[in-house]
Structure 1
Amino acid sequence: MSKLNKDILFLIFNELQNNSSDLFSCLMVNKYWCETVIPILWKNPWRFNIDYHKSSLYSIVVSYLPDNMKGFLAKEGIHISDKSLAIDYLSFCKSINMNVIDDIISTESSPGYYRSLLQEELYNTLMKKCPGIKYLDIRSDYQIFCLPCILESKPRLESLCELACNTSTDPNYFYRLARICQRIQRIIIINKNAKANHGITILIEAQKNLKYFKWMDHFNEEYCLEIFEGFNKDPYTESFYALRKHADTLNHIEISIQHDRISNYYDIYDNQNYIFLQYTLLELYKLKTLKVSSPVFLNSEVFEEKLETVAFPDLEILEKNVIDIYQATCIIKNSVCLKELWIYKYRFDCDRFSDDSLNFIRTIRENCELIEYLTIPVFPLSDNHLAEFELLLKRCQNLRSLAFRDSRCRENRRKEIEYGIDLSNVIIRAAPFSLKEIEFSYDIWFSSKTLRTFFEMWKGRPAISIQTCVHFYRSNYLVKLIDEYKTSGVIKDFTILNSSYAFYGDLHQEPFSGSDFYI
């Protein structure tokens, strides 16, 4: 390592940039290593959540203040380091995180006028000394864009690539930002406001190469009720419709709409016809990642007709908390690049479930050959479904993780043991060698006999990790059985997830009399 040149060391240290303990330890090896690590650390120094590092950050940053300001603040009891710096740290800095900076300032100084003065001086210094700001996090109450230095720092901000902000900020703040920064590629928005922020909309519209958009609701229950009591306060539609302008560039969407605290949310949702999200998504045809936590999409014939005609040819990751199985099928039918399908709850019409679930499996088999992570509803126990599922396993040779989600539309809910037997046989016959993780829902139980057969047949493959919420596997006999195959290297992990019995209703009864569950 001592003979490696600086370029090679830089590449190695870059790989460690998310491992703060290893990266910081490299500072102590020698001067040569220290000089190579510092540009990496100081590209975004605010992201390391280490107490002693925050204290060092404060000392270094305030050392850049003018001497007269240092003297003035020192007289008022604010600690200012008088050490000279051997390295110009801020010449490497390309980011400003106001939350972290304000936290550092509040730790090192008492509240009041002088802390406010210190804030202003530090932000002025950062804007002048940092070469080109690539990342800016303004999720803070301090209005940095009101500082006089902003106009002087315009060339530094024009190169901004990533912005994190929240909707409670004054819209005028975003108007100024939109005039200066029009090449932002990543926007992260925390929604704290029940009313639309027009400044956010203008900021989104002003961008010329937006690729990544993340929206997260973060407000209290009172705000939730404000939103859904009156559609005129809707904070979403205006901003989400602005995204359609970026259909040619946008490839990552991550949306989390807060709705879980409202017990009658779905009735409100249907009445207000919240279509801002689903109709926006129809136009974003270049998406590679789509992650949405929101109420279920409306079962609208007009929407589903449009959904049937759209294609997401570049989509690689689809994650949705709840979605109708038919709508999920429409989204993935032309997604030939899909690698990850994370659905946490499938909704369906019980009268159509048999046909819809069969079509869903067939669609994955025909279109998603590259799939690596797959969540699938527990389909009916029929020859057609099992045969189609077996074909899916044989075709999808990259499959690494398989998860089954509960469904309660099967004609006989008391077939859990039979289901486990048939399903384990299919998995043993057809599962690709790459499969290493399986999650079974409460609809699927395995007797000890079936488990032992499954583990015996699994020998020679990579160790399997299994998750289930069936608590009967905690019995002494089954624990010994599982431990036996852990010791032999067949099982990597066997996790029994915690769940509420009340949630599953009568599915949480003891196995019916005469079952072979404990055989």
Structure 2
Amino acid sequence: MTPRLPEDILKEIFENFEDETGSLFSSLLVNRLWCLNVIPILWKNPLKNQFKKADENLLTCQHRCTLLLRTLLSCLSEESRCLLSEKNKFELPFQISQPALFDYPMHCKNLRTSDVSMLVWSFIEREQINGQRGKFLFFILEQELYKLFFSRSSAIQQFTLCTMLHSIQLFPGANTSLANLSILRCSTECHESFFFGLAQICERIKVFIVDFCDKDNDGLNFLICIQNGINCFECKHGRIQGQENLCPNLNIALQTQAHSLKKLDIIDNIGGISLNTICAFVNLRSLKFTISDELSDIVVNNLKNANIQNLETLEVRGEPISVKVLSSLIKNTRGNFQKLHLCGWRPNADDNLGSLLPILRKYCPKLRSLSTWIGEDDLINLELLLSFCHELENIFLRVYSNELMSRYGIFNLLKRANPVNLRKLKLEHLFLLDEEEGLEMFLKSRSTKNSLILEIVGNLISQDSSEIISIYKFNGVLKDVKLLCFGEDSAPDQQTPYWKIDVII
């Protein structure tokens, strides 16, 4: 008889297939042990796969929603069933003959209010959805589903608050299921009462993601203030032209978490969070922000004097920022700085971002990812940096003119510097037609043990370049080669969005 794998190993294997729902559903049918280990994984975020995918028709989607809702309703208590069917005459298009085999909702760790609403919306008859009866049925079915999740799941870890018609704190079991909530995703558009409700339950939220932030919300600000140490705050879309500091009270609330905050991401938000606030977060490890207009002298001086010694990641987007500010932020770190990503608008050559290269070489021996603009006078410092920073894995070079690269040969420079740990090279304003000989020599010097991803932004390649690339992809030196849309400026250590890829060679 073939010995069985230990249960803990099985569980670890299945967790690696968390996004492969088809494989997990097939595994349910193998035996009871596999079934018991797969169900908690499938039901961590049970509503995430309910909607229509690109390669399926609407009927398939509706069928999946019906099956999911039937399963959830079979888990309802007798009291909830009576409330729906007898008291409110809620007619189901299917029969629920027996209770569910497993207590599926108890495994829920991730819940989004929009998913619950969409599941109910897909079930209510279209002609009823806007009528009084339809709205009431929508409300009552949502209510019972929330009661189900909050009463059965003992540890919801991530909660996304979009639109909601109910008072969270009043649901039976909410005090237990949300007590250890660690990630909250929300918007300043949500009514403050929802946040006041959460404030009665949650004190250990570590991550706040505000998807839309264009005004102060007293409920959200209060919820932030009472947490026992927020680690990450991400603030997304909220730009209103001509307005600054749209959320002064939010800035004050964040400063109550100054010593615990490790990650601040306001790169997609302009005006909501003041750049002056950054100076208070002395323990940041990751900082991402956007420059909208010319910075005032006060903001520049505050950023220059910011003492963020543990900073490891710095991303700046938008208008060119003062090199002196960047230099100060980098110099004040303790040698653990690992990533610099300068994206957004193309700076003038007079801004001399290349002057950062000697500073990175001197203060950042652990540098792993670099994105910056370079000019003709920066090539020597670039070569020295590549030779010195041995842990550098990802490079994105944006040059002021293709003529520069044609004249000096970026691939010849890379061959001489020989960055042995380089895994991804991204280049903009480079015609491979002018670099074919250097490209071949560089690839010839590379080892198959360190396969390289090469991405070219905004330019086509010649037939000869394509043949060189094919040869070195075949022998394993090149792992992947992509031509990207012009203007694509994501960091080289991040996965490029598929819609920004013109061609995969």
TM-score by length of 2: 0.81
Other-structure match for 2:249? 238
Other-structure match for 2:382? 389
**Structure 2 residues not aligned, in runs of 5+:** 52-60, 488-505
Structure number having the greater helix percentage: 1
SS in 1 for 2:220: helix
In the alignment, is the contact (CA less than 8 A) between 2:448 and 2:475 conserved in 1?
A: no
Shift in alpha-carbon separation, 1:275–1:37, aligned structure 2, 3 A: closer
Looking at structure 2, the residues matched to 312 and 19 of structure 1 have their Cα atoms a distance apart, in angstroms, of 41
RMSD value over aligned CA atoms?
Answer: 3.0
Other-structure match for 1:104? 119
What are the within-5 Å matches in structure 2 for residues 30-429 of structure 1?
Answer: 30-49=31-50, 51=61, 54-63=65-74, 64-66=76-78, 67-72=81-86, 75-79=89-93, 81-110=96-125, 111=129, 112=134, 113-140=136-163, 142-145=164-167, 148-149=170-171, 153-191=174-212, 194-217=214-237, 227-228=240-241, 235-257=246-268, 276-292=273-289, 294-296=290-292, 298-322=294-318, 323-324=320-321, 326=323, 327-335=325-333, 336-345=335-344, 350-351=349-350, 353=352, 357-358=354-355, 360-379=356-375, 381-382=376-377, 385-407=378-400, 414-419=403-408, 421=409, 423-429=410-416
Shift in alpha-carbon separation, 1:94–1:472, aligned structure 2, 3 A: closer
- Deviation, structure 1 residue 31: 0.7
User: Which of 473, 485, 503 is the aligned partner of 1:498?
Assistant: 485
Shift in alpha-carbon separation, 1:236–1:18, aligned structure 2, 3 A: farther
Looking at structure 2, the residues matched to 470 and 197 of structure 1 have their Cα atoms a distance apart, in angstroms, of 42
1:174-200 residue CA offsets vs partner (Å, 9 max, x unmatched): 2232232222111121226x4322222
In the alignment, is the contact (CA less than 8 A) between 1:120 and 1:147 conserved in 2?
A: no
Q: Answer with 307-316 or 93-102: which moved more.
A: 307-316
Looking at structure 2, the residues matched to 135 and 27 of structure 1 have their Cα atoms a distance apart, in angstroms, of 25
Shift in alpha-carbon separation, 1:200–1:275, aligned structure 2, 3 A: closer
Looking at structure 2, the residues matched to 148 and 451 of structure 1 have their Cα atoms a distance apart, in angstroms, of 65
1:119-146 residue CA offsets vs partner (Å, 9 max, x unmatched): 1222223222222333222212x23326
Shift in alpha-carbon separation, 1:230–1:247, aligned structure 2, 3 A: closer
Looking at structure 2, the residues matched to 18 and 134 of structure 1 have their Cα atoms a distance apart, in angstroms, of 18
SS in 2 for 1:433: coil
Looking at structure 2, the residues matched to 333 and 275 of structure 1 have their Cα atoms a distance apart, in angstroms, of 28
Q: Which runs of 4+ in 1 moved over 6 A?
A: none
1:459-494 residue CA offsets vs partner (Å, 9 max, x unmatched): 666343322246352x33433343344344443333
Other-structure match for 1:509? none
Other-structure match for 1:510? none
Shift in alpha-carbon separation, 1:20–1:237, aligned structure 2, 3 A: farther
Structure 2 counterpart of 1:143, one-letter code: L
Q: Percent identity?
A: 23
Looking at structure 2, the residues matched to 304 and 244 of structure 1 have their Cα atoms a distance apart, in angstroms, of 19
User: Which of 429, 440, 447 is the aligned partner of 2:427?
Assistant: 440
SS in 2 for 1:320: strand
- Deviation, structure 1 residue 258: 5.3
1:40-99 residue CA offsets vs partner (Å, 9 max, x unmatched): 333332334564664443122212143413533895433453332221222333443211
Other-structure match for 1:262? none
SS in 2 for 1:324: coil
Structure 1 counterpart of 2:367, one-letter code: I
